[in-house]
Amino acid sequence: MKQHYLGVLLLVFFAPAICLSQKYLKEFSGINESVTLDGVTYFIGEDQIHGKELWKTDGTRKGTVLVKDIFPGIRGSEPQDLFVFDGALYFSANDGILGQELYKSNGTAESTILLKDLHPAHRTGSSPSKFTIYNNELYFVAAPQYSNTTSLYKTDGTAAGTVLVYSREEGYSGRFENLTVANNKLYFTNRYSSILYEFSSITNQVVSQEVDEFSTVSSLNSFNDELYFITHKNNKSQIKLY
């Protein structure tokens, strides 16, 4: 019983010290997303000077710094979809001229570069997103030039190695999404169709199949190296599991 009371007294006296062990690093008006690369956390920070830009922290106040001011001014470059691949950070950002495009960074201002302008039109970017690793390459979707739909791309981390893999079928609009790897293949869907797409890096071909009469294929998931997904109507009624 005495040991119990001793434990309570220790908790009461030392709890304030435990609570005060947190460290204040820096004030932001907004923080979104975060990933870790080589022991450093990268995040999207917003303040009243730079707007939304890419920041990093090593857990110290001195080490909490802006990586690069891609779009100087209060608006900021609006980084999105932070993703780590092969020792580097990939994301989309807007420099105020090219629109939302693909960027790569190794954590310094000098290494934070536009990897490739996939939609070379003034202030109209390709908006790369849905980053997924498949067979040691980074796959993603983006809008090609003169198009408001999306296509499938891949990159090996170089501008020359950032290439188009597959464009939408004629007659189908919409946006590719749900990139999922299973059975050594990459699967994805079109937001506005009942088609399931299967890409093989061995054949470099995409096979598409209409699953059923329902309007949407979604919720792709890999389990035991097999692909699971559902089909449903627009209001997610009459769900079928495959």
β-strand partners of 153:
140, 164
What sections of the chain are H helices per DSSP?
A: 2-19
**pLDDT score at 8:** 42
* Tokens linked to 184: 């050594």
Pairing between β-strand 129-134 and β-strand 51-57 as defined by DSSP bridges: unpaired
pLDDT at residue 10 is higher than 50: no
Please classify residue 106 by burial: count the beta carbons closer than 10 Å to its beta carbon, then call 0-12 exposed, 13-18 middle and 19+ buried: middle
Residues facing 34 on adjacent strands: 43
The 8-class DSSP code of residue 171 comes to T
CA-closest candidate to residue 169, choices 195, 133, 142: 195
Order of strands across the sheet that contains 88-94: 80-85, 88-94, 100-105, 113-116
In this predicted structure, the answer to whether residue 7 has a pLDDT above a threshold of 80 is no
Distance CA 52, CA 29 (A): 9
pLDDT for residue 121 = 73
Contact 191, 175 (CB under 8 A): yes
Given a cut of 90, whether residue 84 has pLDDT beyond it is: yes
When pLDDT is cut at 50, 70 and 90, the band that residue 90 belongs to is very high
| % of the chain at pLDDT higher than 90 | 69
**pLDDT grade, residue 119 (50/70/90)?**
confident
Q: Which residues contact 130 (CB under 8 A, 6 or more apart)?
A: 81, 140, 141, 176, 177, 178, 179
Higher pLDDT, 89 or 119: 89
Q: pLDDT tier at 145 (50, 70, 90 boundaries)?
A: low
- Cβ(227)–Cβ(218) below 8 Å: no
Task: List, for residues 168-217, the tens digit of each pLDDT value.
Answer: 755 556 689 999 999 999 999 988 788 999 999 999 999 999 898 877 89
Q: What is the mean pLDDT of the chain?
A: 88
- This prediction has a pTM of 0.86
Of 140, 147, 155, the C-alpha closest to 174 is: 147
